[in-house]
Amino acid sequence: MRAVKLRNEVMSGNRSECGEQETKVLSAGVHVVSRFFSNAKLEQMADSFNRLGYLKIEQAISPDQLTRFREAVDRHWKDFPQDWIALSESFCEGTNVLPHTSDFDEFIENPKTLDVIRAIIGENTTFEEFAIMLRNPTGNLNEVKGWHRDLIRDYSRRKEIDAVSLMVYLSDVSETDHCFAIVPETHDRLIDVNPKDIPADAGVDLIGPAGTGILFHARAIHNARLKQNSTQRRTLQAYFSGRLDQRTNEWTQIPPRLYEKKDPSLPPHFYSKWNVTNILDGVGRRPADMDPTLPISEVIKEVQRRGRVQLQS
């Protein structure tokens, strides 16, 4: 009976927006003066995020920003090949990008998306990590890690996950393209759902034109839904949290140009964790039993491999 109920819960949002449910607010937001959204709209967006665990933002970046980011990705691919890690046949990630270029600073600080993030997290909003992600066409539709929560793969530690991720599509994502899929409310009301129990075709596919933004709670169960005839999908992704004493990731270095910045428009502690060494014990930290001289690219591959094993165990 429980299995049938669980399947009905997670399938109820399949391919469409999920109905709203009454849940507690996970984060205490702050009053934000935004030039993009009214106070009422910001409150509505934060409430929707807190209920569902995700929020879709139309035109999260401007057409000019989209052009600049596309060109910046091309430059970084060419100029810094050592920053790119092939994690699967179709999936490639650009890591520790920020020390080499300022091209993506405006993505992290983008006022339109940061206004919403501050409304969700509050005045202690801090930047955590940044990456570029490329998902190439593939005929192997089963290569993805499957349904999972971010940061920590250990199901018993799911309540320790408390961060918000921003993903922005740099390419058009149609119904026939690889897309981001999420199971609504698994960050809160359905927090006890185990990713292993979720049918492959469950969840909500989030599609949209280039420039579409997706905010999601890192504790919400999600996946990459691969499509047979997809074009290449390009995304920029950043994480934010309200913790001042711990980082989610040690792969993203925050350079001096950011942590020395004096900008009153940013949250007061935004880049304050540039020297925080307390890293969340999860997929963003080098395991203690690993060779300390191993290159970051190899460390990340091994950490991701161990994470997949944890998901399957």
What does the pLDDT read at residue 83? 86
**Does the structure show a pLDDT above 60 at 222?**
yes
What does the pLDDT read at residue 130? 97
Q: Each residue of 36-54: pLDDT tens digit?
A: 999 999 999 999 999 999 9
CB–CB of 215/166 below 8 Å?
yes
Residues 6 or more apart whose CB falls under 8 angstroms from that of 145 comprise 223, 304, 307, 308, 311
Q: Each residue of 58-98: pLDDT tens digit?
A: 999 999 999 999 999 999 999 999 889 888 888 899 989 99
- How sure is the predictor about 136, in pLDDT bands with cuts at 50, 70 and 90? confident
- Average pLDDT along the chain: 88
The alpha-helical segments, DSSP class H, found in the chain are 2-11, 39-52, 63-79, 105-108, 111-121, 256-259, 296-312
**Does the structure show a pLDDT above 70 at 10?**
no
Q: Each residue of 259-286: pLDDT tens digit?
A: 999 999 999 999 999 999 999 999 999 8
What does the pLDDT read at residue 33? 80
The domain that holds 74 is classified in CATH as: 2.60.120.620
What does the pLDDT read at residue 30? 53
Q: No. of H helices and E strands in the chain?
A: 7, 10
What does the pLDDT read at residue 144? 66
Q: Which domain holds residue 296?
A: 2-312
Give me the number of domains the chain comprises: 1
Query: Per the structure block, which two tokens stand in for 163?
Result: 């961060």
* Coil/strand/helix, residue 213: strand
296: Cα separation from own chain's centroid: 20
**Quick one: average pLDDT of 11-23?**
41
* Coil/strand/helix, residue 70: helix
Q: How many residues does the chain have?
A: 313
